[in-house]
Amino acid sequence: MTKKLLMLGVALLAFGCLAWAAEKTYSGVVSDSNCGMKHAKGGDEAAGCIAKCVSGGAKYTLISGKKSYNLEPQDKFSNFAGKHVRVKGTLSGDMITASDVSAATAAKKKTAKKSAGM
């Protein structure tokens, strides 16, 4: 009996680690299934178009580079239309099942200091 419980515990631990390791973070712009890559740069104009398309039945998508991913659950993305985001989740085919969505922080540009007289 003890041996069976030990084997069950090891199996649950192994499968739990596999599921945890599969979750990754993806970044890109939230668009919609009708317009897709058209909104790859995001912005206020894109957000308005995306909202209109989604209200008409389109689904939210993530544009990352030259790739478009379908997103689930859809309700997590309603506040991010046309915005740069970081999506934490699992990928299956071209579908990302999100566990967390957050606005991407803008990359800070390094500025070179100019020396007087040099």
CA separation for the pair 51, 35 (Å, rounded): 11
User: Whose CA is closest to 59, among 80, 36, 32, 85?
Assistant: 32
Q: pLDDT tens, 33-63?
A: 999 999 999 999 999 999 999 999 999 999 9
Which pLDDT value is given to residue 116?
47
Which pLDDT value is given to residue 65?
93
Gyration radius of the chain over CA positions = 20
- What total of structural domains would you count in the chain? 1
CB-based contact 49:74 (threshold 8 Å): no
Provide the domain limits for residue 96: 23-103
Residue 34 lies in a domain: yes
- Report if pTM > 0.75: no
Residue 4 lies in a domain: no
Residue 99 lies in a domain: yes
Name the burial class of residue 23, with classes exposed (0-12), middle (13-18) and buried (19+) by CB atoms within 10 angstroms of its CB: middle
Residue 73 lies in a domain: yes
Residue 8 lies in a domain: no
CB-based contact 8:45 (threshold 8 Å): no
CB-based contact 63:36 (threshold 8 Å): yes
Residue 113 lies in a domain: no
Residue 5 lies in a domain: no
Residue 118 lies in a domain: no
